Structure 1
Amino acid sequence: MSSNPAIFRAAAVRPLVSPAVLQRFDIAGPRYTSYPTADRFVDAFGAADYAQALRQRRSAGAHALSLSLYVHIPFCESLCYYCACNKIVTRHHDRARQYLDGLTREAQLQAAQLGRGALVSQLHLGGGTPTFLCDAELDRLMDVLRNAFTFMPDREQSIEIDPRTVDAERLAHLAELGFNRLSFGVQDFDPDVQQAVHRMQPAAQVFELMAAARALRFASINVDLILGLPLQTAVSFDRTLERIQELRPDRVALYAYAHLPDRFKPQRRIDVNDLPAPAVRMQMLSRAIDALTAAGYVYIGMDHFALPDDTLAVAKRQGRLHRNFQGYSTQPDCDLVALGMSAIGRIGATYSQNARTLAEYYDHLNQGRLPVVRGLALTRDDLIRRSVIMALMCQGRVDFEAMSMAHLFDFRDYFAPEFAALGPLVAQGLVNLTDHDIEVTSTGWYFVRAVAMVFDRYLQADRNRGRFSRIV
């Protein structure tokens, strides 16, 4: 599809969401890939607690229910200055061999507790850079997973890709391994911005890979963009959006850059004076929302857009949208087994996280222990609030009677303080509040995190939100 600059000029004239409204909600808050959020995990929850959760799932007969599987590949060949992921920058590819040994042991330990052959309906490889692994190593990884789990024929199988690490031949190999969804990390097409964040990749390379992926008939292709990077301007980001219109991916993830150099050391290499001012960032976001919508994309929620026929957009229309640690998903709300350094999983009413360093990860495995070092067993209040927050984040509506019946409580009485806190959001047109339900408005969808935050008990007790990204 050819570029239509008129669409992008229109974005500056008739913004779908005005910069003024965006500025009003330029606050920090959780992304709610879980509730409670990962910063609430405790060291008191360890490997023994996680193993018990796996055994309980098995004894409860949940073996017949499918689960999601996440594998974290931490290695990257080069450092991207904006990155906040848990990664290891190295050009020593022999380190992957030892890591695969560790993943093999962990998969075996998981299967011993969970039961070998548990059904998997969704697999996601994240990082780091999963394509740091060569074809033979990816073959070995898939053999390990197939030996421990049973993959359903219609599974969703996705992988994150650094375009600099693959070519058409590698994409074909991924297809042979069963991957049907790809996510390309683009971030920005502007060469100056790329140089400022130490991630140079020619636009032509991305276009060639997209053409190859289309020819291989991958079911869905996502492109990640980041807004708020150094040297970005409203005009330069308009040009990136024009290229996205030409590229026409099935999905676009438009993340807001969170500059937290005290937490993430690579960000200390970014000159804070090169970051766009808040007013400019709000202008960029407003124009991006309007431009993507005008180009035919459906706003899914938070920072995700999809073409109308993509399964994510279909799931939203049909009220089947779900959310897990990888973001929005079409998969039913199910348990998530996570493998690898720092990986986060969910089994029943528990969350767990693996050791965050390779040395600690390997040490646990060498001693025959699951590498879980922290997590959380959810309380009844956690489960109630998780249901409400996920209903808001995914369906944009909470039915009081249905929620009350599901958890055996009086919704309006239980959440009396939260109803009072919703008042300003109602006045600002973000939610509609009736005697029967809460419904997020079309404008409110762009600020759904702010709506969900009202029901976050931990956040209300702790106003230190500096550890979170901006909600817009």
Structure 2
Amino acid sequence: MPTITTELLTKFDVPGPRYTSYPTADRFVEAFGEADYLQALEQRRDGPAALALPLSLYVHIPFCESLCYYCACNKIITKHHDRAAPYLRYLAREVDLHVQHMGAGHSVSQLHLGGGTPTFLSDDELRELMAVLRRSFDLVPGGEYSIEVDPRTIDESRLATLAELGFNRLSFGVQDFDPLVQKAVHRVQPAEQVFALVAAARRLGFESVNVDLIYGLPKQTPESFDRTLAQVAELRPDRIALYAYAHLPERFKPQRRIIAVDLPGAGNKVAMLARSLAAFDEAGYVYVGMDHFALPDDALAVAKRQGRLHRNFQGYSTQPDCDLIGLGVSAIGKIGATYSQNAKTLAEYQDALDQGHLPVVRGLAISRDDVLRRAVIMALMCQGEVQFEPIELAHLIDFKTYFAPELAQLRAMQEQGLVRLTDTGIQVTATGWFFVRGVAMVFDKYLQADRTRTRFSKII
């Protein structure tokens, strides 16, 4: 574990993309629509190895029973569970339209249900959804099949149903165990409830259990968060995702309910992060990258050691880079050299499907330069290094000439001990790995031209 100074943490306390894609989703344009997306689907269908190349699926379930004040997700707050059944019918319609244009039987090696709250669906509704997906896609053995779980919506019986349906990974939203913090963000869930569910998940044989934490929430202090960190170390999930809270009330209406004076200052946020890094290291977790930690024998930590780490819209993954189909309101997909996003409102999403159209409302066909920079950024984000020669051979460039301004910027980072520059490549140091978003940002052409970054979360 390298020494992470407060000076470095403070210096990189700036907004920046998470690079689940490049270009990032804020660069999508409305000029890209359904016709462009259909063309990408049909090109994939007609490709030489379409059925052999696995797909990733993301399904967005937007419903939540109650509002968490920190939330920036696309969601619909309702206690009316009868709204789920019509939504599932629209999802089935969307799947059928995909099959019409790309054929059935494509292998899927990664599935993620996100939201919202996927466990808003009843067990029977989850069975119905999985039946729809399995009817059109081949979920291969050994894949990653995960679901986000609100501990308040589930018990051991429901966990058994998830295992029966083929899910092998769970992600529990915890955020903080402190009762005062939970009350301040309108998400009260006793620690005992989470401990019982994680124990049940282990009995049921789930391969990996992830816990989400957020630092920078109202009423948090370094001392109160220390107590949460100690409880998480006792809970010992296979993976931990530690996110910095981004307070953007002008963009996300629920956050306007948070009392700004209750938010910890920058110094306390930095202290919470520094103490988290030390606590997870002491508990035996491997720092996978950015804000992800894993036990040494977890598949994510193994992939990191073996250089097999990948990154997509679901975050870090052990699955090779592949096309992604996004289903549901606001879902994002990646097919070939294109990105696409569905309509963000339920009415617009349903209206498109009622007319027999896929609900794609914006996206991007990426350029040659985008493909090149994506390769560099993802190599930094996943492997922590870039070798010049493979990039030069794949993209027919001279790296040092093409990226001369970027390499000049990296020399300052080299002086700070974050990277090592050699004649053959760029190596992110052990210290630099904690600030890898900042290193990757150097190669982001759009970001370098746009210094208005408040739409992004902080790097740390």
Instruction: Give the TM-score category using the shorter length.
Output: over 0.9
Deviations 1:239-283 (A, max 9, x none): 000000110000000000000000000000001100000001101
Deviations 1:210-240 (A, max 9, x none): 1100100100000000000000000000000
Mapped pair 1:206 → 2:199: no
Question: Which runs of at least 4 in structure 1 moved beyond 4 Å after TM superposition?
Answer: none
Aligned position for 2:214: 226
Aligned position for 1:65: 53
Provide the secondary structure at the position in 1 that maps to 2:81: coil
**245, 250, 258: which one aligns with 2:246:** 258
Aligned position for 1:415: 403
Mapped pair 1:188 → 2:172: no
Q: Give the Cα–Cα distance (whole angstroms) in 2 for the partners of residues 280 and 123 of structure 1.
A: 37
Mapped pair 1:240 → 2:228: yes
TM (norm. structure 1) is 0.96
Contact 2:15–2:454 (CA under 8 A) maintained in structure 1: yes
Aligned position for 1:125: 113
- Following superposition, the deviation at residue 16 of structure 1 comes to 3.6
- Following superposition, the deviation at residue 421 of structure 1 comes to 1.1
- Following superposition, the deviation at residue 424 of structure 1 comes to 1.3
Mapped pair 1:20 → 2:35: no
Contact 1:351–1:375 (CA under 8 A) maintained in structure 2: yes
Provide the secondary structure at the position in 2 that maps to 1:432: strand
Mapped pair 1:322 → 2:323: no
Q: Give the Cα–Cα distance (whole angstroms) in 2 for the partners of residues 15 and 64 of structure 1.
A: 42
Q: Give the Cα–Cα distance (whole angstroms) in 2 for the partners of residues 170 and 431 of structure 1.
A: 47
Contact 1:183–1:223 (CA under 8 A) maintained in structure 2: yes
Higher mean C-alpha displacement, 145-154 vs 35-44: 145-154
Provide the secondary structure at the position in 2 that maps to 1:42: coil
Mapped pair 1:148 → 2:140: no
Aligned position for 2:16: 29
Q: Give the Cα–Cα distance (whole angstroms) in 2 for the partners of residues 319 and 407 of structure 1.
A: 21
Contact 2:2–2:430 (CA under 8 A) maintained in structure 1: no
**256, 271, 280: which one aligns with 1:268:** 256
Provide the secondary structure at the position in 1 that maps to 2:51: helix
Contact 1:58–1:115 (CA under 8 A) maintained in structure 2: yes
Contact 2:4–2:274 (CA under 8 A) maintained in structure 1: yes
- Following superposition, the deviation at residue 69 of structure 1 comes to 0.5
The aligned amino acid for 2:151 is: P
Provide the secondary structure at the position in 2 that maps to 1:293: helix
Contact 1:323–1:394 (CA under 8 A) maintained in structure 2: yes
- Following superposition, the deviation at residue 20 of structure 1 comes to 2.1
Mapped pair 1:298 → 2:301: no
Contact 2:2–2:431 (CA under 8 A) maintained in structure 1: no
Number of residue-to-residue matches in the alignment: 459
Cα RMSD (Å) of the superposition? 0.9
Mapped pair 1:136 → 2:124: yes
Percent identity reads 70
The aligned amino acid for 1:470 is: K
Q: 1:44-443 counterparts in 2 under 5 A? A: 44-61=31-48, 62-443=50-431
The aligned amino acid for 1:48 is: A
TM (norm. structure 2) is 0.99
The aligned amino acid for 2:275 is: R
Provide the secondary structure at the position in 1 that maps to 2:453: coil
- Following superposition, the deviation at residue 36 of structure 1 comes to 0.1
Deviations 1:304-356 (A, max 9, x none): 00000000000000000000001000000100011000000100100000000
Deviations 1:384-404 (A, max 9, x none): 000000000000000001110
The aligned amino acid for 1:110 is: H
* Consecutive unaligned residues in structure 2, runs of 5 or more: none
The aligned amino acid for 1:72 is: H
Cα 1:15–1:441 change in 2 (3 A) is closer
- Following superposition, the deviation at residue 15 of structure 1 comes to 8.5
- Following superposition, the deviation at residue 154 of structure 1 comes to 1.8
* Consecutive unaligned residues in structure 1, runs of 5 or more: 1-13
Contact 2:90–2:353 (CA under 8 A) maintained in structure 1: yes
